[in-house]
Amino acid sequence: MSEQVEERDGRPASGRRRAGRQRAAVQELLGAGSSFRSAQEIYADLRERGNPIGLATVYRALQAMVEDGEVDVLRSSDDAEAVYRRCSRGHHHHLVCRRCGRTVEVEDQAVERWAGAVAHEHGFTDVAHQVEVFGTCAQCAAPSS
């Protein structure tokens, strides 16, 4: 369980994998909204829309997309399932509405510096960090929805 990360071959961003109609469906569905979606939800969603996809395919598509950096994975602490969201490449953080799930990508050097400073202060190097900000968006906070 405490094993170190296995080295995996660098994967050419895209063009290596044949697109596949079903994977495309997953991509499209994720691209549609900007909020979280669990694999199970995506599976159900696609089926309802008349696209009889297999659950395994959904997982495989998501897995591939994560590897390619197309989507982010997040595991809530209280929920058993992982949620995925479309996501631009590069380093950034998210501001998500805890009510409707809408997500805003945030990019700010301030946090980066902060993380670096804190780490350095304690003698840590090779710093990385993970930040998620939650809140209630203006729309959801509106008294009369």
Partner DNA sequence: ATTCTTGCAAACCCTTTGCAAGCTA
Partner DNA sequence: TAGCTTGCAAAGGGTTTGCAAGAAT
Q: Does 34 sit near its own copies (CB under 8 A)?
A: no
Gap between the Cα atoms of 47 and 75, Å rounded? 24
The number of CA neighbours under 13 Å toward the Cβ of 140 is 12
Supply the minimum distance, in Å, between the C-beta of residue 71 and its own copies. Answer: 12
133 binds, among its own copies, DNA, none (CB under 5 to 8 A by kind): its own copies
Question: Interacting stretch for its own copies, rule CB under 8 A, among 9-17, 24-32, 48-56, 95-103?
Answer: 95-103
Q: Does 28 sit near its own copies (CB under 8 A)?
A: no
Q: Does 34 sit near DNA (CB under 7 A)?
A: no
What are the distances in angstroms from CA 6 to CA 2, 3, 36, 113?
12, 9, 28, 29
Picking from 96, 107, 71, 100, the residue whose alpha carbon sits closest to that of residue 86 is 71
Q: Does 57 sit near DNA (CB under 7 A)?
A: yes
Chain residues in the site for DNA (CB under 7 A): 1, 17-24, 38-40, 52-57, 59-61, 63, 80-82
